[in-house]
Amino acid sequence: EAPAALVFAPASPQAEQTTNALSVSGGSGTGAVSFAVTDGPGLIAGGTNLVATAGTGTITVVATKAQDGRYFAGSATATVTAATAAYVYLLDLRRIHDGTAQAASATTMPAGLTVEITYDGSAAAPSEVGDYAVVGTVDDGTYLGSASGTLRILAPWNYHHVDFGDGWCWVGWLGFYAPMGDGWIWHEKHGFFYIPAEQLLEDAWLYAVDMDWLWTGEGTYPYLFRRGDASWLWYSGDVNPRTFYNFTEEDWEERP
């Protein structure tokens, strides 16, 4: 009895020295399926895998479903274009949220190839805080290659701050502050802080003239780590003077 048509559509193009698994659908009966390269720069490995052995040319592959007790053998032929392997390297995968689209970049070997980059399957670069699956692909008819990675958009120290006007802003974990430019802010209780670029919501270094460098962040403040004497401090919230408990000295200290 004549079998139903065998459907055979291997991935194409295929880069040189890469291996693609072969499979079929359709057909009839229980006969075993075999694959054979009949022309071009390819070979079958492990019975079901196509290896491209060169970077140019067309590989002709035949899939055959063997005869069984009811159905005659059936076959289908497909072609695979061999491509030169390209190597893709993803860059700029750590970004800090600023409300704009945060795109990854890529370089290639050979240099200068066009890389199509997707983020969770979309060509649009994301702007919100989070992790995104990134795939960079070269497929220009001559070269073929891809790389994958994770784009991480991190929350800055003042993420979701509120602008109250008249120069004042508020962020939940730190309170009210006024941006002064060049990284400096005036804090409602602490006075001047210098906050370098790229400080994060949960990982922020602040510089105070009277206290040296302090590490803190959302989930940590009002605890602060002072770099100069490697002391952990707890800020009481008081002003005039500000009072801090020094866990290293096991005593209180005061600041104007």
Q: Are residues 180 and 236 in the same domain?
A: yes
pLDDT band at 20, cuts 50/70/90? Answer: very high
Shared domain for 133 and 59, answered yes or no, is no
Instruction: Give how many domains the chain has, as a whole number.
Output: 3
Instruction: Tell me the average pLDDT across 9-20.
Output: 96
The last residue of a domain, from among 127, 154, 181: 154
Euclidean distance between CA atoms 152 and 1, whole angstroms: 58
Instruction: Identify the bridge partners of residue 145 per DSSP, sorted by sequence position.
Output: 138
Q: Is residue 175 part of a domain?
A: yes
* Phi, psi for 6 (deg, rounded to 5): -90, 130
CA distance 85 to 52: 10
Q: How many Å apart are CA 81 and CA 205, to the nearest integer?
A: 54
Q: pLDDT digit string (tens) for 83-93? A: 999 999 999 99
Tens of pLDDT, residue by residue over 109-150, are 999 999 999 999 999 999 999 999 999 999 999 999 999 999
Q: Give the whole-number percent of the chain exceeding pLDDT 70.
A: 100
* Cα 96 to Cα 90: distance, rounded to the nearest angstrom: 17
Give the Cα separation of 156 and 171 in Å (integer).
11
- Distance between CA 20 and CA 144 in Å, rounded? 13
What are 43's two structure tokens? 């070979």
For residue 63, the enclosing domain spans 7-82
Beta carbons of 86 and 143 less than 8 angstroms apart? yes
| Residue 208: predicted pLDDT | 97
Q: Could you say which of 134, 154, 174 is where a domain stops?
A: 154
pLDDT of residue 92: 98
Name the pLDDT band for 254 (thresholds 50, 70, 90).
Answer: very high
Position 144 scores a pLDDT of 97
Amino acid 229: pLDDT = 96
Q: Are residues 180 and 241 in the same domain?
A: yes
CA angle at residue 212 from 209 to 217, to 5 degrees? 105
Tens digits of residue pLDDT in 146-175: 999 999 999 999 999 999 999 999 999 999
Spatial separation of the C-alpha atoms in residues 42 and 62, rounded to whole Å: 12
pTM of the model: 0.82
By the 8 A CB rule, do 100 and 81 touch?
Answer: no
Same domain, 26 and 105: no
pLDDT tens, residue by residue, 181-218: 999 999 999 999 999 999 999 999 999 999 999 999 99
Residue 1 lies in a domain: no
Confidence of residue 61 (pLDDT cuts 50, 70, 90): very high
**Cα–Cα distance between 40 and 62 in angstroms, integer?**
12
**Cβ(176)–Cβ(185) under 8 Å?**
no
CATH number at residue 139: 2.60.40
Question: How many helices and strands in the chain, by DSSP H and E?
Answer: 0, 26
- Note the pLDDT of residue 217: 98
* Band of residue 50 on the pLDDT scale cut at 50, 70, 90: very high
2 found inside a domain? no
Q: DSSP for 28-81?
A: -SSPPEEEEEEESSEEEETTTEEEE-SSSSEEEEEEEEPP-SSS--EEEEEEEE
Domain end call among 57, 82, 107: 82
User: Is the domain of 140 the same as that of 221?
Assistant: no
